[in-house]
Structure 1
Amino acid sequence: MKRVVSLLIVLLALNSCDDGDLIQEDISFEDTKTLSCTTNNIIFKLKDKESLLLEIPESSFVNEPTPEGEPTIIAINSTNRVVYRFYSGTVSQDNICETIPPASPAVTDQWTATDGEIQITTTAVKTTNTSTGRTTITGYNHNIVFKNITFDKGDGTSFVKETFPFGDYVTTATTLPFGFDEVVEQCSTSKQIYNYTSSEALTLDDIDPDLIKNEITPLDAPRTGLTGTTVNKLVYRLYSNGVLTPSYFCNTTTPTLPTKSEEWIADAGVANVSGIIEVTTTSVLGTFIHKIVLKKVILTSGNSNFTLGDSYIYGELITTN
């Protein structure tokens, strides 16, 4: 009789806990691959008969590293949705992205997030050329974590988790062409030095006059300077909506077209460490050829940066007396 009474007490306790209370369970998709649909704003993860879906605007994933300890925070609501689904069989990408999903496997259960927030920590993905030391940003990694997320299980109960890692989602970065030749020009008045293609420019503004002199230098003793925020300001710009031509440069007022789409500014150089400008001058038939080399220059835009490498030939400037 005592055993029967004890069993009834346990059953009553279980039933009372399932009546709208928050139930802690273990769900993990962190180690599965993140996939995305091309026709909508859904990114998702699949695992056997389960899927975890995140629907937020693509603009939520900004190609800009977040400051340390300051992730992008997005509230979970009817626009920013998180859904956990169960299926009658093994689920595939077609079940998520197709306008008319396959009839099988069928969705057998669905939990919908009703509260919490989405935290996104973004870092740049870089590759390094081992021979030149130059780095290239190939994409941005967005690490997604749900905080204090609550799922409505649809049966009067809820599932809540304080920290629920979703995983990583990678977006691609704009490729910076750097298709310059090794011939640079200089404005007669402003003395700005520039190299350009039809869609990009690399300018050296307010160059130190001691760097460009019509005096031959020993090959092993070039003139040196450092990139700076005023003098020797090195700037890379990428353009759109038009073609860049020589007439764009040396104007008192910057032309409105083409449109500047990206701008990267060199960090202030540190002697013998970074941001070094070397100029070697030779002479041929009364003209002077100034070869400008940039060493360990770091270019920054917002919280992103990359290096031009150990030694980058900016180009040759020809002057006369």
Structure 2
Amino acid sequence: MKKIVFLFLITCTFFSCDDGDLTLEEIDLTTDAVVQACVEEAGVTLLFKINGAETLILEVPNDLIINEATEDADTPRVEELNGAANCYYRSFDTNITSSYFCDELPSDIAVVLEYTAASGDVEVITTEVLVDGVVTEYQHTILLTNVVFTGTNGQDVRYNEFPYGTIETPAE
């Protein structure tokens, strides 16, 4: 009987061990991470949020974030993800800074885990910021809707609504 119990415990140990794959149950860069941007190139605006070694990168066409107020909150400008717009979650082996995205030299920081938005939409609501009746800047609130992130580990993370954040651009 002791041998059977011992065999059972050994079997449970082998089948319950984690194989070491990195998994992610949710992407959470919504609280403290600030939306930043880099130089626009080839008709694309690069937005990103950094939280230590984690980032959420959003590439959108230049005509999505423009200095023009949207009609109202019910009619945002919309772009399809995995089309003209792309979104990536990346986890690195060390903390990174905005220079990772904005410098011209390639980086040698290793990506530990990556999720790519396979489907969904980017919605942008733009409002004017007025000071003494004069528009001084535009505030762009970015929301990802019906988004499915697919990881390099084969795992999917889904959101009906994922608030990406807000970025301000100066009035010209």
Shorter-chain-normalised TM-score: which range? 0.7 to 0.9
Aligned to 2:93: 88
Q: Quick one: which of 37, 60, 64 aligns to 1:60?
A: 64
| Structure 1: distance between partners of 2:86 and 2:31 | 18
1:47 aligns with 2:45: no
Aligned to 2:38: 37
Q: Secondary structure at the match of 1:96?
A: helix
Q: Secondary structure at the match of 2:63?
A: helix
User: What's the CA shift string for 1:157-182, capped at 9, x where partnerless?
Assistant: 211111111100112212xxxxxxxx
| Structure 2: distance between partners of 1:77 and 1:30 | 25
Aligned to 2:146: 148
8 Å CA contact 1:31–1:167 kept in 2: the answer is: no
Q: Secondary structure at the match of 1:74?
A: strand
8 Å CA contact 1:86–1:109 kept in 2: the answer is: yes
Aligned to 2:137: 139
- Counterpart of 1:115, as a letter, is S
8 Å CA contact 2:49–2:57 kept in 1: the answer is: yes
User: Structure 1: where are the runs of 5+ without partners?
Assistant: 129-134, 175-321
8 Å CA contact 2:29–2:56 kept in 1: the answer is: no
8 Å CA contact 2:48–2:58 kept in 1: the answer is: yes
Mapping of residues 56-205 of structure 1, within 5 Å: 56-66=60-70, 67-103=72-108, 105-128=109-132, 135-174=133-172
User: Structure 2: where are the runs of 5+ without partners?
Assistant: none
Aligned to 2:29: 28
**Structure 1 outlier segments of 4+, above 6 Å:** none
- The 1:39–1:121 alpha-carbon spacing in structure 2 relative to 1, beyond 3 Å, is closer
Q: Secondary structure at the match of 1:56?
A: strand
| Structure 2: distance between partners of 1:78 and 1:111 | 16
Per-residue deviation, 1:97? 2.1
| Structure 1: distance between partners of 2:125 and 2:58 | 16
Aligned to 1:191: none
8 Å CA contact 1:122–1:140 kept in 2: the answer is: yes
Per-residue deviation, 1:77? 1.5
8 Å CA contact 1:24–1:161 kept in 2: the answer is: no
Equivalences, count: 157
| Structure 1: distance between partners of 2:31 and 2:63 | 23
Q: Secondary structure at the match of 2:145?
A: strand
| TM-score, normalisation: structure 2 | 0.79
| Structure 1: distance between partners of 2:57 and 2:73 | 27
| Structure 2: distance between partners of 1:60 and 1:124 | 15
- Counterpart of 2:65, as a letter, is F
8 Å CA contact 1:34–1:43 kept in 2: the answer is: yes
From the CA coordinates, give the structure whose radius of gyration is larger: 1
- The 1:106–1:24 alpha-carbon spacing in structure 2 relative to 1, beyond 3 Å, is closer
| Structure 1: distance between partners of 2:86 and 2:112 | 19
Per-residue deviation, 1:37? 0.8
Per-residue deviation, 1:4? 4.8
- Work out the percentage of aligned pairs sharing the same amino acid: 25
8 Å CA contact 2:90–2:115 kept in 1: the answer is: yes
| Structure 2: distance between partners of 1:39 and 1:121 | 20
Mapping of residues 281-320 of structure 1, within 5 Å: none
